[in-house]
Amino acid sequence: MFTDWLYKVNYINMIGFIFGSLMMFFGWNAPLMGALLLAAGVLLIISKLNGRPFIYFMTYFVHLCLIGLLIFELLSIEWLSINPILFVVCIAALISLIAVIIRSNTSTLSLFWLALHILILAYGFIGEGTFWSTVWSPGSVQVVFKTFYSILIAFFLIGVFLDRFQNELRREYRDRN
């Protein structure tokens, strides 16, 4: 029911991932974040086409590492005695494993990234400075996460609902036939 719509959302997201990774590579000299953005977009498309658990794990892992690294700059964690990047990677691996175990689809990530891309573009237009100096800058990403976290969480939860609803529709369809 929602599958065709989510495919279109993923292709829109892919445009956002490509644009964001180009801005990270060339505009902000952040090649690791640019590569992660591009890999996240490609994995999101692959996970929709090939629903194997390993692909889902890798998709969630890369996305959660990327989101964790974007959010991590907002937090000042002094009690953390290990390397912050190692902490983000371990948490991302744990959550990815849980997502695969409960057989979660990637609809949650699709809607989250759609909202994030729209908010970053909107902030690029209305933020301080020109569009090119603001869009996908580390400062604008932090402002979007800090200011609009409730919208991002809402889109994530809507994605969880759509994922569960779609799974129940498939299960009901299989049981009838």
Task: Report pLDDT for 71.
Answer: 82
Q: What percent of the chain has pLDDT over 90?
A: 46
Q: How many residues are present in the chain?
A: 177
Alpha-carbon span 58 to 128, nearest angstrom: 36
**Which position has the token pair 């057989």?**
103
The answer to which of 15-24, 90-99, 134-143 has the lowest mean pLDDT is 134-143
Q: Nearest Cα to 108, choosing from 149, 156, 60?
A: 156
Q: Where are the domains of the chain?
A: 3-176
Distance CA 104, CA 96 (A): 10
Interval 87-124: pLDDT, tens:
889 999 999 999 999 888 888 899 999 999 999 999 99
pLDDT of residue 80: 61
